[in-house]
C-alpha cells in the first residue's frame, strides 16, 4: 500500500497532447513506485476535443474533475480545425483561459534553464547563455486578457465606399490585491533562488504600470528588503533578455507582457519541446508544457515529451512537496540527453540516426534513467 495517494485530473487536449501526456503519466507512475506514492489519474476533455464532443471548450465535468483533484496535468490545446475569426465561435484557448480563472490560478511560473547537452540549440552565442537560469513569474488572471472588450460594426463611414466600418477595444485593468499577491510570489521565489527580482512594466506610459511599480516597491520595502529589486521597462526587458540573459533571476510581470517575454525567454534555450510551466493558485495548480499542440506532427509518434515530463517534475515539486522525486526526474532527463538520445526536434547533424527516438521511446528512456 502506497503511503500517499494523490488524485490528478489529466487533460490530453488536442494535437500531440494525447501522445505526450501518456509519457508524462508513464514517468509519474514510475516515480510513484520509487517514492511509495500512488497517483490516480482521471482524463477529462478540454479545448478542441471538448468542442467536438459537446460544443464547449471547458465542459462542467472537466471543471468538476479539476476541482476534485489535488492537481491538474494538461498537455496542449488548439489546432487549425478550430481556427476562426468569428468572435461567436467557441475556441480551444477559451478552455485554457477559463480553467485558469475558475481555479484561481493567478501565478504562472516558467523556468528557463539550459540543459548543457542542448546548449548548441540556442541561436545565442555559448558565452551569452552560459549559466542562464531565469524564473518568469507572470500574472495570469488579470490584465488585458480578462478586461472588458467589445467590437462594433457600425462605425460611420469608416468602411469601404463609405459603408459602416468596425471599431474594437480591449481594457487593461489591475486591482491592488492582484499586484500584491503576484509580487509576493516573486519575492518568495527569489528567496529560494538567487535573491533578485526584476519587475517589468511600462510605467512611462501606462497607469496600471505606475500602480504596479508603487505596489511592488511597497511590498519589497515592507517585507522583502533583503531581495535585490530592479524595475525594467518592458521594451528594454525584451532586449536585455537576449543581451544578458544570465543576469536575470526572477522576472515578474503582468499577463500580456509575461506571455510575450516568456516565449522570448523560452527561445533562448532553442528547444521549445523542453520547457514546462506551472500555474499556481491558493488551492490548486495546473502543470503543462510551454509549447502548443504542434498539429503539424500530431499522430506521428515523433513529438518530444520532455516538456510534459518536466511539467510532472514541477507538479511533484510545487503541489506535493516531493523535491527528491522531482530532482530524480530532472537528473533522468539530463542523463538521457547527456547520453545523446534525442527526439527529432532537438536532434542535429551530429546525432546518429539510431539515437533519434519517438515520443514513447523517449518516455521509456527517461523511466529507465530514473535512479
Whether 174 is catalytic: no
Query: What are the beta bridge partners of residue 13?
Result: 76
Residue 294's CB is within 10 A of a number of other CB atoms, namely 24
For ligand NAD, give the closer residue by CB, 189 or 310: 310
Joined grid coordinates for residue 348: 542535429
Q: Does 49 bind ligand NAD (CB under 6 A)?
A: no
Q: Does 295 bind ligand NAD (CB under 6 A)?
A: yes
For ligand NAD, give the closer residue by CB, 254 or 345: 345
253: nearest Cα among 138, 174, 145, 111: 138
Whether 371 is catalytic: no
Question: Which is the catalytic residue, given 6, 145, 224, 318?
Answer: 145
Joined grid coordinates for residue 162: 463609405
Question: Which is the catalytic residue, given 235, 282, 296, 371?
Answer: 235
CB 66 within 8 A of CB 99: yes
Q: Does 103 bind ligand NAD (CB under 6 A)?
A: no
Q: Does 269 bind ligand NAD (CB under 6 A)?
A: no
Q: Site for ligand NAD (CB under 6 A): which residue of 27, 51, 66, 77?
A: 77
77: nearest Cα among 46, 99, 103, 54: 46
For ligand NAD, give the closer residue by CB, 56 or 247: 56
Whether 283 is catalytic: no
Joined grid coordinates for residue 312: 510532472
Whether 259 is catalytic: yes
**Min dist. Cβ of residue 291 to ligand NAD (A):** 3
Q: Site for ligand NAD (CB under 6 A): which residue of 10, 304, 319, 328?
A: 304
Q: Site for ligand NAD (CB under 6 A): which residue of 12, 79, 90, 95?
A: 79
Binding letters toward ligand NAD, positions 1-20, x by CB under 6 A? ---------------x---x
Q: Site for ligand NAD (CB under 6 A): which residue of 11, 27, 227, 294?
A: 294
275: nearest Cα among 341, 345, 213, 222: 345
For ligand NAD, give the closer residue by CB, 229 or 275: 275
Q: Site for ligand NAD (CB under 6 A): which residue of 296, 321, 338, 371?
A: 296
Residue 56's CB is within 10 A of a number of other CB atoms, namely 16
Whether 145 is catalytic: yes
Binding letters toward ligand NAD, positions 342-371, x by CB under 6 A? ---x--------------------------
Place of cell 476562426: 84
The CB-side HSE value for 343 (13 A sphere, CA atoms) comes to: 25
Query: Long-range contact list for 88-95, CB < 8 A, 24+ apart?
Result: 90/51, 90/55, 90/56, 90/57, 91/57, 92/13, 92/14, 92/46, 92/47, 92/48, 92/51, 92/57, 93/47, 93/57, 94/57, 94/58, 95/46, 95/47, 95/50, 95/57, 95/58, 95/62
Q: Site residues (CB under 6 A) for ligand NAD?
A: 16, 20, 76-79, 93, 96, 272-273, 288, 291-297, 303-304, 307, 345
Amino acid at each position: 500500500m502506497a503511503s500517499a495517494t494523490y488524485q490528478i485530473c489529466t487533460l490530453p487536449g488536442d494535437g500531440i497532447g494525447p501522445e505526450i501526456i501518456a509519457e508524462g503519466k508513464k514517468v509519474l507512475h514510475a516515480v510513484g513506485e520509487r517514492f511509495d506514492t500512488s497517483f490516480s489519474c482521471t482524463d477529462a476533455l478540454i479545448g478542441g476535443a471538448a468542442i467536438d464532443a459537446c460544443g464547449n471548450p471547458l465542459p462542467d465535468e472537466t471543471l468538476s474533475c479539476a476541482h476534485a483533484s489535488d492537481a491538474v496535468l494538461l498537455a496542449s490545446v488548439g489546432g487549425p480545425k478550430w481556427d476562426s475569426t468569428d468572435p461567436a465561435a467557441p475556441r480551444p484557448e477559451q478552455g485554457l483561459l477559463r480553467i485558469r480563472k475558475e481555479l484561481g490560478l493567478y501565478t504562472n511560473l516558467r523556468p528557463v534553464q539550459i540543459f548543457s547537452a542542448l546548449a548548441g540549440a540556442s541561436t545565442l552565442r555559448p558565452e551569452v547563455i552560459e549559466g542562464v537560469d531565469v524564473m518568469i513569474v507572470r500574472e495570469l488572471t488579470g490584465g488585458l486578457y480578462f478586461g472588458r472588450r467589445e467590437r462594433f460594426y457600425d462605425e460611420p463611414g469608416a468602411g469601404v465606399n463609405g459603408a459602416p466600418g468596425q471599431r474594437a477595444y480591449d481594457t487593461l485593468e489591475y486591482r491592488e490585491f492582484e499586484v500584491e499577491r503576484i509580487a509576493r510570489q516573486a519575492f518568495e521565489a527569489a528567496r529560494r533562488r538567487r535573491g533578485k527580482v526584476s519587475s517589468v512594466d511600462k510605467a512611462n506610459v501606462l497607469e496600471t504600470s505606475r500602480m504596479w511599480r508603487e505596489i511592488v516597491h511597497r511590498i519589497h520595502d515592507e517585507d522583502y528588503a533583503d531581495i535585490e529589486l530592479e524595475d525594467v521597462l518592458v521594451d528594454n526587458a525584451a532586449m536585455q533578455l537576449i543581451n544578458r540573459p544570465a543576469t536575470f533571476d526572477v522576472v515578474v510581470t503582468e499577463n500580456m507582457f509575461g506571455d510575450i517575454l516568456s516565449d522570448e525567454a523560452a527561445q533562448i534555450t532553442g528547444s521549445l519541446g523542453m520547457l514546462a510551466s506551472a500555474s499556481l493558485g491558493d488551492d490548486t495548480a495546473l502543470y503543462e508544457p510551454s509549447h502548443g499542440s504542434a498539429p503539424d506532427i500530431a499522430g506521428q509518434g515523433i513529438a518530444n515529451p520532455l516538456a510534459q515530463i518536466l511539467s510532472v517534475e514541477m507538479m511533484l515539486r510545487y503541489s506535493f512537496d516531493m523535491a527528491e522525486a522531482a530532482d530524480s526526474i530532472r537528473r533522468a532527463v539530463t542523463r538521457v540527453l547527456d547520453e545523446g538520445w534525442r527526439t527529432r526536434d532537438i536532434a542535429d547533424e551530429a546525432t546518429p540516426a539510431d539515437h533519434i527516438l519517438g515520443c514513447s521511446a523517449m518516455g521509456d528512456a527517461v523511466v529507465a534513467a530514473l535512479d
